[in-house]
Structure 1
Amino acid sequence: MGEEKSVNNYDIVYIGDSSNSNDDHSISDPTIYFRNISLSYFAAEPFEMLTKHNRFRELCLENDNPEAHYIEGILQYFVHKEKRKGLYHLRQASIGEYRNGTYLYGLLLLALEHYPKGKKYLDKLQWKENLSTSDYCWKRVKKTLSTIPAIMETRYYTAMVNLEPWTECHPDNMAEVCKHCYYSKRLTQFVQFAMNQE
């Protein structure tokens, strides 16, 4: 039996499979299990964790699962309108090195006009060396946020305008960015997306 693929291409490991007697049983430690379990399904559908899987969400948060902090941050910030709690959980996701959490946390700090701190978090994704990580994170964050209605706030637009570079460097070209326009373009992407959610 061993491992096989499910219809969703996830690996299925059968419990009780004795084909390998040298298995590492550290996964039986609930702390490790809940801290490391992938929550990618819930990251794409955060309301599922809010409504149907509340106890599971609590266990993952209690054991510091970074992806659970990301989901909780989104739910607190955008659904419950508890901004401080939301930012706390997104920061915890970033501390746990969950890149989507780092990206969204940095983006929201920019949107709230905390520019130096927002830039610091976005810089953790090393966009100056390669934009692919930032691009991937934005794609994933956008997918998650597309399930949340009415995320736009007037102050995001104000922050975007205030962050625009003085010089017209690389207008409308996301592939061409520099230290003057990267943050502005990322925040503009977010604001335009948020406005279209209305």
Structure 2
Amino acid sequence: MGEEKSANNYDTNYIGDSSNSNDEHSNSDPTNYFRNIYLSYFAAEPFEMLTKHNKFKELCLENDNPETHYIEGILQYFVHKEKRKGLFHLRQSSIGEYTNGTYLYGLLMLALEHYPKGKKYLDKLQWKENLSTSDHCRKRVKKTLSTIPAIMETRYYTAMVNLEPQTECYPDNMAQVCKHCYYSKRLTQFVQFAMNQD
């Protein structure tokens, strides 16, 4: 099935049985539709779902759409300052295998000094084998968070300092990462970005 773009220019590609190409949506299950709809436009512009498209967001959340959990997690955590709700939605996004949600949840766990949990979630991106997934997630999360003002908290800096490795690593070189410095470097990138947002 082809890709469709709405008037708002976000991807509304439906993942379903495309065996009947003449009547693709006639038997669509709304649960599957709202669960699987791609929301890359809203993931990059989360405020759009906070205002103009709130009802649509609620339908996607009711049907457990992982990308919508990511968006809601960002809105709850950074905009409404509802940390617990935000983390819940980001974790749900990760459970739904949305990699940006996994990355951000792991990063926030590190920033909140829940180091073992943060490492566990970042490890799901298999950075030890290849940094590409982790790097792509970082770029997309950074783009999304650049739309949110004042995300820095003092405790993030404290967590970053406490996580610094005891071994000699290359502090500014992500190409030279090891099990001792990867998490520290990712958290340092996040804290530096957050500090520049204020």
**TM-score between both structures, scaled by the size of structure 2:** 0.90
Q: For residue 167 of structure 1, what is the amino acid of its counterpart?
A: T
Answer with 168-177 or 59-68: which moved more: 168-177
Q: For residue 96 of structure 2, what is the amino acid of its counterpart?
A: G
Partner of 1:96: 96
Tell me how far apart the structure 2 counterparts of residues 126 and 53 of structure 1 sit (CA, whole Å).
34
Q: How does 1:65-144 map to 2 (within 5 A)?
A: 65-144=65-144
| Residues 102 and 121, structure 2, Cα contact 8 Å, conserved in 1 | yes
How far apart are 1:171 and its partner, in Å?
2.4
| Residues 73 and 88, structure 1, Cα contact 8 Å, conserved in 2 | yes
Tell me how far apart the structure 1 counterparts of residues 89 and 12 of structure 2 sit (CA, whole Å).
29
| Residues 3 and 11, structure 1, Cα contact 8 Å, conserved in 2 | no
Distance 1:23 1:159, change over 3 A: same
Structure 1 or 2, whichever has the larger Rg, is: 1
Distance 1:40 1:11, change over 3 A: closer
**CA distances 1:29-60 after superposition (whole Å, capped 9, x unpaired):** 11000000001000000000000001000000
Partner of 2:17: none
Q: How does 1:1-198 map to 2 (within 5 A)?
A: 20-21=21-22, 23=24, 25-26=26-27, 28-198=28-198
| Residues 70 and 90, structure 2, Cα contact 8 Å, conserved in 1 | yes
Partner SS for 2:68: helix
How far apart are 1:20 and its partner, in Å?
4.0
Q: For residue 196 of structure 1, what is the amino acid of its counterpart?
A: N
Partner SS for 2:177: coil
**Identity rate of aligned residues, in percent?**
83
Distance 1:80 1:170, change over 3 A: same
How far apart are 1:126 and its partner, in Å?
0.2
How far apart are 1:21 and its partner, in Å?
4.2
How far apart are 1:169 and its partner, in Å?
1.1
- Aligned residue pairs total 191
Tell me how far apart the structure 2 counterparts of residues 113 and 168 of structure 1 sit (CA, whole Å).
22
Distance 1:22 1:74, change over 3 A: closer
**CA distances 1:163-189 after superposition (whole Å, capped 9, x unpaired):** 000122122101110000000000000
Tell me how far apart the structure 1 counterparts of residues 57 and 12 of structure 2 sit (CA, whole Å).
22
For structure 2, which runs of at least 5 residues remain unmatched after alignment? 15-19
**TM-score between both structures, scaled by the size of structure 1:** 0.90
RMSD: 2.3
Partner SS for 2:179: coil
Tell me how far apart the structure 2 counterparts of residues 121 and 137 of structure 1 sit (CA, whole Å).
13
For structure 1, which runs of at least 5 residues remain unmatched after alignment? 14-18
| Residues 152 and 191, structure 1, Cα contact 8 Å, conserved in 2 | yes
Distance 1:150 1:25, change over 3 A: same
Tell me how far apart the structure 1 counterparts of residues 118 and 150 of structure 2 sit (CA, whole Å).
22
Tell me how far apart the structure 2 counterparts of residues 62 and 76 of structure 1 sit (CA, whole Å).
16
**CA distances 1:86-139 after superposition (whole Å, capped 9, x unpaired):** 000000000000000000000000000000000000000000000000000000
**CA distances 1:123-166 after superposition (whole Å, capped 9, x unpaired):** 00000000000000000000000000000000000000000001
